[in-house]
Each structure stands twice: as C-alpha cells, then as structure tokens.
Structure 1
C-alpha cells in the first residue's frame, strides 16, 4: 500500500444532472470521512460473560466533514444553498489512489468564521442517507 497525500483526499458535490457531474468544493483544506456501524448487543444470561454482537445488524452510516478557506467559488455557493435548503444531495469522496465513495448526504452544519487579522473560513458536516457505493480505482 502506498502512502497518500492528504491534499489529494477530495470532497466533491454533485450538480443533480443525469449523468451527474461532481465538482471539488473550493478552498477546502481538510477533509474527513467516518464510516460507522451500530452495534446490536445480543448478550443474554446464557452468554459466557463476554458481550455478543449480532453480525450484519444495526444501522450503518457515513459522516463527512471538511474545513477550508472561503474563496467564493461556485461550489461553495452551491454548498451554502444546500445547507439552507436542508436537501439530500450527491457527494463523492475520492482518494489519491482513485478509490471513491459516493452517496446522498444532508449538510447538517455549515459554519463560517473569521478573525480580525485573518481569512474567512468554513467548516461543514454531512450525514448520509441511504446506501453508499464504493468504487475501486481502475
């Protein structure tokens, strides 16, 4: 496995078209992805004293996050509109290797900040709705 650069870990927002085109969200400096699987505990009185889990059960979800410098790019304007509308939209996370995750997400947080002697920044958080697809690099 090759070490990958963080700057090549990109979040893209879909345009809603058919076929859908994805654009990198402008100004982003950090990107994060969290894939979570809810546990279903089936431990009972007859168990060995160790927790037992039900394989394949529970709710799976993906959380995306990012932060960056506000550049007023088209993708940032779309991102702001999506946050105001609270809609489900397509996003893609792509790694330097070309592997990617694609799915529908709702933007749950859009935060802007700016220090007196600094640049305007943003932080975003997104939560998945429905299945997430993984595509390995070709």
Structure 2
C-alpha cells in the first residue's frame, strides 16, 4: 500500500465537446474534499412479542449523496470560463472527480454553491461545492502491474536468427520495455522487442527481462533461457 498526495484529489471539468469531450483540471484549488454519503432510513421496529424491551435501532441506506468541495485562488482561463458559464446559468455539466489510489467518478454535476471572496490586498479567492446531478460511473484506478505468466522467447538461438520476446500475461494493463541478457548480463543497447544473436553470443544462453509499467508502478519478469546460441 502507498500513501497518496492530497493535491492529486482533482475535479476535471468537461468542455461539452462532441463526439469526444475533453476534461481539464479546475485550477487554483488549495483545499478539497470529496464526500460519499447516503441518507439513513430508519427501519426500527419494537419486538412484537416483548414490546416493553429495549428497542434495537435498525436502518438502511436511502438517497445517496456525492459532493466535491474546494477552495483556493481564482485563476482565470478557459476551464474556469466554461465552469462559470454553468455557475451563472445553473446548468448541469460533465465532470470527473479523480481520487488517487481509488479511481475516478464521472458523470453529470452541478455547482450547488459558489462564492468569491477577496480583500484589499491579495488574490481573489473562491469556494465551491459541486453536487452529482445524476448517477456517476466509477472506474477503479489500475493497480501496479503484476506478472501472472512468465515471458518467453520465440525463435531459434542461432547467430543471425531473430529472437522475439513474448510478454506472457500481466495484470494492470502495462506498457512494456525490454532488456536482453547473455548469461544473465545485460546486452548493451539490446532493448527492443526482438534480438538477433551475434558471434559473441555463441555458446551462451539468452534471456529477456520485460518490465511492465502503468501510472501506479512497475514490475519486471524474466524469461527462461534459450538453448546455447549456435553458430550460423
């Protein structure tokens, strides 16, 4: 497990574009919070067979509430202009709330409260509360990559014959990088998906170390070795 920086709790405002909408960070926020709550519906009933006994409170969730609040320095710009049009018009807009280490909540939002503040000196400040205006879609943040089936090598271990790295199976949808090795030692700049053995490799075994990386982290897995490299 890893700690998450609070400044990475973000709200991204959609520009309303079609067919592809672009989302940009709401700038200037210094303090922020994202609340996930539900109203409590009281379902408490007394014991019909012993109505004088103490009553155990029971309940169930009712209407869910999703609110993002933030405050900071008001920074004029394109994203703020889009937002302020929705604030003035009291209209619904698309936004994404990014919770680091958790995931993204995306869907329709409205500005339920927006306030400017300022003094004689200093920058103008703002505070805002955004409330979900409909169901939100949640996309979990991908965990760090993990290898579940080791990499392998396709091809014949012979001088002049191309060897190809097979990534195996991974969790976390990573992007891959490669490092070929001779006898367990890195082969210089051999960092492509393929490698062609040279005369200096004759008699040695070749392996490939594959590193999978995503936004959360990285992991490395190494293939089994080839047969000893043969002469051409």
Higher Cα radius of gyration: 2
Query: Which string of whole-angstrom CA distances, capped at 9 and with x for unpartnered residues, describes residues 43-88 of structure 1?
Result: 112286121113xx41112011111211212111111111111111
Note the alpha carbon deviations across 1:74-111, whole angstroms, 9 max, x for none: 11111111111111111111133372111211101111
Q: Secondary structure, in 3 states, of the residue corresponding to 2:62?
A: coil
1:7 corresponds to: 7
Task: Answer with 45-54 or 71-80: which moved more.
Answer: 45-54
Instruction: Name 2:106's counterpart in structure 1.
Output: 102
Answer whether contact 2:13 2:24 (CA < 8 A) is retained.
Answer: yes
Name the CA distance, whole Å, in 2 between partners of 1:45 and 1:96: 44
Tell me which residue corresponds to 1:75. Answer: 79
In 2: Cα distance, 1:85 partner to 1:46 partner: 52
Indicate the residue corresponding to 1:53 in structure 2: 59
Single out whichever of 86-95 and 44-53 deviates more from structure 2. 44-53
Cα shift readout 1:25-46 (whole Å, capped 9, x = no counterpart): 1212222111111111111122
The gaps in structure 1 that reach 5 residues or longer are none
1:64 aligns with 2:65: no
Instruction: Give ranges in structure 2 of 5+ residues lacking alignment.
Output: 49-53, 143-232
Residue number in structure 1 paired with 2:124: 120
CA RMSD across the alignment: 1.7
Q: For residues 6 and 86 of structure 1, do their structure 2 counterparts lie closer, same or farther at Cα, with a shift above 3 Å needed?
A: same
TM-score, normalising length: structure 2: 0.55
Q: Does structure 1 retain, via aligned residues, the 8 Å contact 2:33–2:69?
A: yes
Task: Provide TM-score, normalisation by structure 1.
Answer: 0.89
Which segments of structure 1 move beyond 6 Å, counting only runs of 4 or more?
none
Q: Equivalent residue for 1:111?
A: 115
